[in-house]
Amino acid sequence: MSKDKRSTMGSNGVTNTDPVILATAGYDHTIRFWQAHSGICHRTVQHPDSQVNSLEITPDRQMIAAAGYQHIRMYDLNSNNPNPVVNYDGISKNVTAVGFHEDGKWMYTGGEDSCARIWDLRSRNLQCQRIFQVNAPINCVTLHPNQGELIVGDQTGAIHVWDLKTDHNEQLIPDPDASIQSVSIDADASYMAAVNNKGMCYVWTLSGGSGEEHTQLLPKTKIQAHKRYALKCKFSPDSTLLATTSADQSVNIWRTTDFSLKCNLALKNSTLTEQVQKRWVWDCAWSSDSQYLVTASSDNMARLWAVEQAEVKREYSGHQKAVICLAFNDCPPT
Amino acid sequence: MAFIEDPAFVLSYLRQAFITSDDTGMSEMVLVDEDIEHWDSIKQEREGTPKTRSTSEKPQNLEYGDISQSFDITASSLDWGIRRRTNTAQRLEKLKKERQNQVRCRNVQWKEKSVDLSSEEMAGMFEKKDLSEKKSAAVPQHTSVLAEQLEQSPVLTNNPFIEFSKFDGKGHVGSTATKRVDIFLTMTTGKERNFPLTVVVLATARVQDLIGLICWQYTNEAKEPKLIENVEAYCLHIAEDDGEVDTDFPALDAKEPFAKFGFTTLALVEKPKDKEQQSEIMLVTVNVPHSGFSRIQVESLGLTMKEILHRALKRRKGRVDPSGPDYVLEKQSQPGVCVDLDSTLDSMNTMEFCLVRQHSTRGEVEEETEVNRNMSEMEASLSSLHYKSYRVNMFTKLRTSTIIQLGVSGEKIEIDPLTQHKSTAAKFLSKQKPVSYDADLVAACEVTDDKHGRETFRLTYQSGSDFKHHDFEASSSVATEVVTKINHILELRASPVRADYLAFKERKASKKHGLLS
């Protein structure tokens, strides 16, 4: 692919060099790209044969990875090619998590085959594939900001800290009867949060994790974040807030200073429709200024919230089925 | 170039090639007859040939030897010239296409690690980043690109048509079945009116969804004037390329899937406001104890009961003294309960009322009729003098029918046309002026025809020195009632006109009889 082709205009006058990328996907086998500020869908690509479990934009903003059943597919962000350009397969079950090394050296995935994998992105001969096996299907994988440790959460409620260089791993189980749904570490690696299917949110303070030293986890607090299933947790880029999404159809925003509730992002009763029972909030993403939160929910919609006012700013409507994952990037390369 | 020596085959081929695909029938004329003759000669020729050859040719004969007598076989049914590709060929092509797609899509298969990485390589790939620097350098608060864009983009007023945005096919071209349509917006003015709005809609959308999508896009583009916030207020009409709406065709059915229509240019038109409801004539029946009932024509259900009472009293002027005691209305089904005169007809849920004097009841009348049922014949003849109106069809000279109100009372018979809402042509042809005939001038009234529950009846009256007539049509029950009522009146009055008419009829009959014998 030549460089100049990548900078061409999209078919509908929407430049592909839009500094803000928002993509959503879920059960309708499509990935939709949105103009975040207008709510207009400017591109749709097919994701055949499978739902999309997770989406992630590559650090160079050239491609987007979609994790589905037995595949991870990469789509070109800067062309209108409706087909994937790279297809990673050879995995037996659902891939539930996908992410990238910040310099794009490798990609990590986790799946229901109980394996976390490292895929070499630099060369075609895949000389440094890595695999880490746990005892239960993996729900979530997060990369420590030090780029050297993977945090893996599984269905038996265990959180594994896998040191990629030394293969050393540590395991902790906050609650043996609950499945870990999501793990998040804030940008300066001071806190780690994990949520489970009982609606509990556990927070640890982190230390170490540089050089040969492994990261040490020190329990800080635990909060009943939601009454029902908690599905996702994410620290804001400025580390001041933590968002937890839930099956109770709302998102809670917590202050990291004392882990008190700042606000609850839920739709007012007046706008509730018959689909209210299905509106699980599956995924969320922060804007780089920590002022806005994009959420994906099973009422086929994605929404943009202004966190301070706790109100919906934009709605992204177009999916025919539940939206369960999203990818957002508003940091154009400088 | 083919070299064929079998004439039978050539003939058969020509027949297939020309006759079957020739619409003009010319080839048939040229070929058929001679063909048959030749055929016979060929056959004879064949029979003369040695046995061995004919047996070997037999299967061939079966293929083309028998002349098909049917010219209905057309070229298309034979797939002449174009042979459908086999399933295998189609599948091969599909596979080829898939392979081509896969060439463009790099496939990476998971491989278990085969070689141990050197510690150097491991360090290069998985070295931990030192975060302590980053921690110290606090990032100053900045506004994100998203925040900037949000600020710049116009505040989108809540688009009431947001639910239809999911039918927007923009950005799906090539991945999902979509249709592109040019929509002329008839509510806009000036430049907007002349240029269509291009809409890309998903092929799965219904017409209603497309209307919603147009409204959504219209609102998004902040066009003026603002739309009514209800998709049902609009419909889609076929339009010319220049934007002219083709009103000869009805609007597209809102419930149909849009994909089944092949139109690429349409016009969004605001539906006329409930025209149908207006043209429907509603009648309210107001019963008056002791003196029959009146039918009052109302134009809407929004009328207040006060207005209906007023009209009822006006209609019954003379029989009921409007200036006298106060009257109230009761529902026919609920004796003794006055209706609220300020409420609307709509809220009554009935079209039948009873007019009673305030502080009195209507009960006695009903009891009376109960007792005197056997006197009903007598009563009918008496009540026949009371005014009563009927809605019937009247035939004009041109045999078109028009709805009229036929008012019958002891004194006169009135014909009042009811306003027509149909096409102008019908109005023009069937204009019926209101007329009234003195009961003394009416000569006869009889049923002339009866079919399928509708009866035709004829009203004969004297005009100058001869008899003229009007023909009406109504449902059997109404027709019978009118005819009975008028005949009662005629009997009661025993006017000279009727006697004249009967004598005239008798004379005519005897004349006819005379002619026949």
CATH of the domain at B215: 3.10.20.90
Residues in B closer than 8 angstroms to A161, CB to CB, are none
Domain boundary among B369, B403, B423: B369
Residues in A closer than 8 angstroms to B101, CB to CB, are 83
Give the separation between CA A295 and CA A326, rounded to whole angstroms. Answer: 8
Give the separation between CA A38 and CA A22, rounded to whole angstroms. Answer: 12
Look-up: residue for tokens 């600020």? B151
Q: Are residues B268 and B323 in the same domain?
A: no
Q: Are residues B350 and B282 in the same domain?
A: yes
The ipTM of this complex is 0.73
Residue B139 lies in a domain: no
Q: Are residues B400 and B342 in the same domain?
A: no
Question: By CA distance, what is B129's nearest residue in A?
Answer: A146
Q: Are residues B259 and B287 in the same domain?
A: no
Q: What pLDDT, on the 0 to 100 scale, is given for residue B61?
A: 44
Domain boundary among B249, B273, B297: B273
| Residue among B110, B141, B146 minimizing CB distance to A117 | B110
> Which residue of B112, B115, B125, B168 to mutate against A (max A Cβ within 10 Å)?
B125
| Residue among A46, A106, A189 minimizing CB distance to B131 | A189
Q: Are residues B249 and B329 in the same domain?
A: no
Count A/B contacts: CB-CB distance under 8 Å.
Answer: 169
Give the separation between CA B102 and CA B106, rounded to whole angstroms. Answer: 7
CA A315-A319-A325 angle, 5° bins = 80
Give the separation between CA B257 and CA B36, rounded to whole angstroms. Answer: 54
Q: Compute the nearest-CA separation of B188 from chain A (Å).
A: 24
Measure Cα distances from B319 to B308, B324, B355 in Å.
17, 11, 12
Q: Which amino acid is at A51?
A: Q
Residues in A closer than 8 angstroms to B116, CB to CB, are none
Q: Are residues B299 and B227 in the same domain?
A: no
What is the domain extent for residue B396? 385-512
- pLDDT band of A328, cuts 50, 70, 90: very high
Residue B94 lies in a domain: no
Domains of chain A, start order: 1-133 (2.130.10.10)
φ, ψ of residue A109 in degrees (nearest 5) = -140, 160
Counted domains in chain B: 4
Residues 312-331 of A with CB under 8 A from B: 313-315, 317-320, 330-331
What is the reported pTM? 0.56
Are the C-beta atoms of A268 and A306 separated by less than 8 Å?
no
| Residue among B143, B146, B171 minimizing CB distance to A37 | B146
Domain boundary among B273, B299, B320: B273
Q: Are residues B448 and B486 in the same domain?
A: yes
More confident residue, A231 or B8: A231
- The residues that bridge with A302 in the sheet, in sequence order, are A296, A316
Picking from B402, B485, B504, B391, the residue whose alpha carbon sits closest to that of residue B443 is B504
Residue B126 lies in a domain: no
Percent of chain B with pLDDT over 90: 0
Q: Are residues B235 and B314 in the same domain?
A: no
Give the model confidence (pLDDT) of B214-264 as tens digits.
888 888 777 777 888 788 888 888 888 887 888 778 888 888 888 888 788
Residue B495 lies in a domain: yes
- pLDDT band of B275, cuts 50, 70, 90: very low
Residue B59 lies in a domain: yes
- Structure tokens belonging to residue B499: 């006697």
Q: Are residues B397 and B501 in the same domain?
A: yes
Q: Are residues B288 and B263 in the same domain?
A: no
Q: What pLDDT, on the 0 to 100 scale, is given for residue B325?
A: 60
Look-up: residue for tokens 């030293």? A213
Residue range A14-25: mean pLDDT, rounded = 77
Residue B207 lies in a domain: yes
Residue B360 lies in a domain: yes
Q: Are residues B347 and B390 in the same domain?
A: no
φ, ψ of residue A274 in degrees (nearest 5) = -70, -15
Report the b/e string of A53-80 with b at 16+ CB within 10 A. Answer: bbbbbbbebbbbbbbbbbbbbbbbbbbb
What single string gives the DSSP state of each residue in B410-469?
A: SSEEEEEEPPP-S-HHHHHHT----EEEEGGGEEEEEEEEEETTEEEEEEEEEETTEEEE
Chain B touched by A3 (CB under 8 Å): no
- Structure tokens belonging to residue A16: 């592909």
Q: Are residues B390 and B494 in the same domain?
A: yes
| Residue among A131, A165, A238 minimizing CB distance to B126 | A165
- pLDDT band of B480, cuts 50, 70, 90: confident
Residue B294 lies in a domain: yes
Q: Compute the nearest-CA separation of B84 from chain A (Å).
A: 29
Q: What pLDDT, on the 0 to 100 scale, is given for residue B473?
A: 85
Are the C-beta atoms of A31 and A52 separated by less than 8 Å?
yes
Q: Compute the nearest-CA separation of A118 from chain B (Å).
A: 10
Residue B462, domain CATH: 2.30.29.30
